[in-house]
Amino acid sequence: MATTLAKAEEAVEHAARIEHVSKSFTTPAGQQLVLDDITVDVAPGEFVTLLGASGCGKSTLLNLVAGLDRPTAGTITTDGRPALMFQEHALFPWLTAGRNIELALRLRGVPKPERRGRTEELLELVRLKGAYGKRVHELSGGMRQRVALARALAQESNLLLMDEPFAALDAITRDLLHDELTRIWAETGVSVLFVTHNVREAVRLAQRVILLSSRPGRIAREWTVGIPQPRRIEDAPVAELSLEITDVLRGEIRRHGQH
Amino acid sequence: MYCVGRSAAMASTETQPAQDAGSVEAGLDALETAAAGRPPLRHTLVNKVLPPVIAIAVVLVAWTLLYPVVDDPSKLPSPAAVGAVFKDAWLRGDLLGYIWTSVSRGLLGFFFALLIGTPLGLLVARVKFVRAAIGPILSGLQSLPSVAWVPPAVIWLGLNNSMMYAVILLGAVPSIANGLVSGVDQVPPLFLRAGRTMGATGLKGVWHVTLPAALPGYVAGLKQGWAFSWRSLMAAEIIANFPDLGVGLGQLLENGRTASDMAMVFEAILLILFVGIAIDLLIFSPLERRVLRGRGLLVRS
């Protein structure tokens, strides 16, 4: 009884708990350490970005949290299966936009009569009302990512993992999707762990920015972003903090050239 | 009309505050999605129907010009003589009979090949041991001319319909199975990862992700499988010529040869070609186009 209580309490305290996680891969050159002793807690409803240059293992870390891979050391606890969004939309081209969302609902065990209505709600949430019957290739890049976001939200997970989801979009679309994501995050109360290499994007979106160093990925520094939402990427406080973080990031990168 | 609606919409966005992401986004969506409609009928006629009609006309003209040069009806019959043979067969009521005998055999054999080739392909694609054991043989079999199966099939099964079906199966099953295997192999790993994060693992993953993702390869395999079925059947019909079996197109061709009736030989060859093309155009090409177009893999020229 006591243990179940403790568990329930923990589930409320953390959307994700990453404790002393390390990951190494076996390569022809031997064991390669990719992540070294990472500890991150994501509180319920919190928006955290992981920021880093190439080789910091940020995508590897997301894969571990998503349960697609196992850590070499350390533990990861999540409250249920997290939803994952990729840089490419990863929508199934043989289904319409609406059917893609319905498949996520179906796999979660939502009964058939409820699926259609729930799908329409989710499409409306990402401002794609009327796109139910559209084929994936008929949608623009930004619309595809919004359908992918709706599909991820259809999993009704407490934690949404996002792996550079806007990196392949043009700047205009990306700015708009930042606004959308901030709005949807506030409306749904979902916790977000967002991976990016874009400093301004990290500051624009997050409550907390965690900077990872590269090869192996370690937590270099952490910032709490106190700027009130809605922010815009052009805002002076966003630019100011971005400048500070960029300087630290460049310092981290510079160390690799000195060996 | 269109322009009026458009400018009205723009005016209304301008009056709203610039912060309203929704209307900006709606505008961007409209800018980025191109309207695609069906091409007009005249376009289809000019681009798709006219070229093959012209090609056939050119062949007929060349044939007509060549006929007096060869001047030997036992080698090259006139187009009119071949036409007369068609007309006779039609008036006797035999023409459709020839076609039906072969087509019913071909389609039934293909159907059995489908029933065997599909699970076989799945097994080879998914089970490592099976792939290592029979994968190379299966792709090797594709390059074996199916006519090579006729002599053993005759010895095993005798001169009857089952022998024909056996030859069709041996010709078509490897194509169908291989199509499915390459379809499964080409499923993007991203789809499998996306499926797994949504809970599509194990059989659910096969059903909801792997199979639909492999469909284009599978359909290509079916198309090739039909071509192989048809070819194998013709080989079997030419070699296994037996009165009780009924006259199919292969037998018709062989009958023309034994009677030294070149017009009949031409008739048979034209019919074989016509049926092969017709089945492809009526069944397999539309199926393939549908699958590819739904995924945006077919670009309209």
What pLDDT was estimated at residue B37? 65
**Dist CA B13 CA B21 (whole Å):** 11
Residue A136 is classified by DSSP as G
Q: Is B167 contained in some domain?
A: yes
Per the domain annotation, does B125 fall within a domain? yes
Q: What is the pLDDT of residue B299?
A: 62
Asked if the structure places residue B254 within a domain, the reply is yes
Asked if the C-beta of B62 comes within 8 angstroms of chain A's C-beta atoms, the answer is: no
Copy the structure tokens of residue B204: 């659910």
Report yes or no on B286 lying in a domain. Answer: yes
pLDDT score of B109: 92
Residue in A92, A138, A172 nearest the CB of B212: A92
CA max distance for chain A: 62
**Distance (Å, rounded) from C-alpha A42 to C-alpha A139?**
33
Cα separation, A177 vs A144, whole angstroms: 11
| Chain B residues touching A95 at Cβ < 8 A | 212
Position B34 in a domain: no
The position carrying tokens 């794609």 is: A128
Interface mutation vs chain A, best among B33, B198, B295, most A CBs within 10 Å = B198
CA distance B55 to B66: 16
Task: Collapse the DSSP code of A182 into the 3-class scheme (helix H, G, I; strand E, B; otherwise coil) and give the result.
Answer: helix
- By CA distance, what is A152's nearest residue in B? B198
> Measured between alpha carbons, how far is A217 from B87 in angstroms, rounded to an integer?
81
State percent of chain B over pLDDT 70. Answer: 90
**How far apart (Å, rounded) are the C-alpha atoms in residues A87 and A204?**
18
CB spacing of B199 vs A81 below 8 angstroms: yes
pLDDT value of position A52: 84
Domains of chain A by range and CATH?
2-82+157-257 (3.40.50.300), 92-156 (no CATH)
Contact: A140, B29; criterion CB under 8 Å: yes
Say if B270 falls within a structural domain. Answer: yes
Q: What is the pLDDT of residue A142?
A: 86
What distance in Å separates residue B101's CA from the closest CA in chain A? 37
Set of chain B residues whose Cβ sits within 8 Å of the Cβ of A136:
295-296
* pLDDT of the residue at B301: 43
pLDDT reported for residue B19: 52
Distance from C-alpha of B278 to C-alpha of B249, rounded to nearest angstrom:
15
Which helix (H) or strand (E) segment is A239 a member of? helix A236-257
A104 touches chain B (CB under 8 A): yes
Instruction: Provide DSSP, chain B.
Output: -HHHHHHHHHHHHHHS-TT-HHHHHHHHHHHH-----PPPHHHHIIIIIHHHHHHHHHHHHHHHHHHHHH--TTTS--HHHHHHHHHHHHHHT-HHHHHHHHHHHHHHHHHHHHHHHHHHHHHHHH-HHHHHHHHHHHHHHTTS-GGGGHHHHHHHH-SSHHHHHHHHHHHHHHHHHHHHHHHHHTS-HHHHHHHHHTT--HHHHIIIIIHHHHHHHHHHHHHHHHHHHHHHHHHHHHHS--GGG---HHHHHHHHHHTT-HHHHHHHHHHHHHHHHHHIIIIIHHHHHHHHHHTT-S---
pLDDT below 50 — which residues of chain B? 1-18, 301
| pLDDT at residue B40, as a whole number | 78
The set of residues, in sequence order, having a beta carbon less than 8 Å from that of B29 and lying 6+ positions away, is A128, A140, A142, A143
- Domain of B187? 79-294
Contact B120, B170 (CB under 8 A): no
Polymer length in residues for chain B: 301
Domain count, chain B: 1
Mean pLDDT by 10 residues, chain A (259 residues): 45 78 85 86 91 81 88 87 88 91 91 90 88 88 90 90 89 87 89 91 91 84 85 86 88 77
Q: Could you tell me if B299 lies within 8 Å of chain A, comparing CB atoms?
A: no
Please, which residues have CB within 8 angstroms of residue B222's CB and are 6 or more apart in sequence? B114, B176, B179, B284, B287
> How much is the pLDDT for B16?
40
For residue A199, give Cα distances in angstroms to A40, A49, A177, A250, B36: 19, 10, 16, 11, 39
Contact call for A137 and B204, based on CB within 8 A: no
Alpha carbons A190 and A186: distance in angstroms, whole number: 8
Does residue B264 contact residue B256 with C-beta atoms inside 8 Å? yes
Q: Can you say whether residue A140 is alpha, beta or left, with left for phi > 0 and alpha for psi between -120 and 50 degrees?
A: beta
Q: Are B217 and B179 in contact (CB under 8 A)?
A: yes
Torsion (CA) A93, A99, A101, A102 in degrees, nearest 10: -140
β-strand pairing of A73-78 with A16-27: antiparallel
Sign of the torsion formed by the C-alpha atoms of B209, B215, B216 and B221 = positive
Option in A107, A143, A176 nearest B198 (CB): A107
Residue B192's closest chain A neighbor by CA?
A: A90
Q: Looking at beta carbons, which residues of chain A come within 8 Å of B29?
A: 128, 140, 142-143
Domain containing residue B111: CATH number: 1.10.3720.10
Evaluate whether residue B14 is within a structural domain. Answer: no
Are the beta carbons of A194 and A47 closer than 8 angstroms?
Answer: yes
CB-based contact A142 B32, cutoff 8 Å: yes
**Collapsed DSSP state (helix, strand, coil) of residue A107:** helix
> CA B70, CA B144: separation in Å to the nearest integer?
37
What is the per-residue burial (b if ≥16 Cβ within 10 Å, else e) of A235-246?
A: eeebeebbeebe
ipTM for the predicted complex comes to 0.83
Cβ neighbours of B13 in A, within 8 Å: none
